[in-house]
Chain A
Amino acid sequence: NAGVTQTPKFQVLKTGQSMTLQCAQDMNHNSMYWYRQDPGMGLRLIYYSASEGTTDKGEVPNGYNVSRLNKREFSLRLESAAPSQTSVYFCASSEMSGANQPQHFGDGTRLSIL
């Protein structure tokens, strides 16, 4: 049982390049989330999808776009990467929307932007 799978695990980009981070969950969860984790800042919510077909902005959405491709998959796109987006990105899912649910996390994508 894989849970939440993120690809790639590591990536180095040059400023201005674009890329898409992939996330898939096999738990039939309705809600999915993208976070970034930076030293001294804690986890910050970028975007979330309460259910298939819906997406909403989180705390730090600027510079990112998301797509809820289907119930399993939720991708995060950086259109023009900036050094400030160097971070560890985590995808998570929960059975239902709302903050009364445990969230299940992938192991992250470590992204460096030069």
Chain B
Amino acid sequence: SQQGEEDPQALSIQEGENATMNCSYKTSINNLQWYRQNSGRGLVHLILIRSNEREKHSGRLRVTLDTSKKSSSLLITASRAADTASYFCATASNAGNNRKLIWGLGTSLAVNP
């Protein structure tokens, strides 16, 4: 069952520009995670933001979380061709035994040199 929905589905920008991707979800969460997947590879964890956090940074990545709107955004600043990948959000529900992540369908980012 899909929880997160990324927006846009695809994004094409020039190197050096900023890229913003959004994730909306439906139920209350414990945390939200962002992952990157390069073509033909596995997913790589980028950032985990907890429900009591509003913003988190890691290098050129900035993640925000608005639990009132049930949404998160991932900002990549000064993008590089190497940032070309699909980006997924995954949410951890705060219900039940909380063992599983629910994944969105991803945003495909193309950074053109």
Residues of A within 8 A of B (CB): 4, 40-45, 48, 50, 56, 58-59, 90, 92, 97-100, 102-108
Q: Which residues of B approach A to under 8 Å, CB–CB?
A: 1-2, 30-31, 33, 40-45, 48, 50, 88, 90, 92-93, 97-101, 103-106
Knowing A40-B105, A42-B106, A100-B30, say if A108 contacts B42 (CB, 8 Å): yes
CB pair A42 B43 closer than 8 Å: no
Residue pairs across A and B with CB atoms within 8 Å: the count is 63
* Interface of A, helix, strand, loop or mixed by DSSP: loop
Q: Which of B30, B33, B40, B42 contacts A105 (CB 8 A)?
A: B42
Contact A102-B100, Cβ < 8 Å, known A43-B88, A107-B42? no
Q: Which residue of A lies closest to B106 (CB)?
A: A42
Do B104 and A58 touch (CB < 8 A)? Answer: no
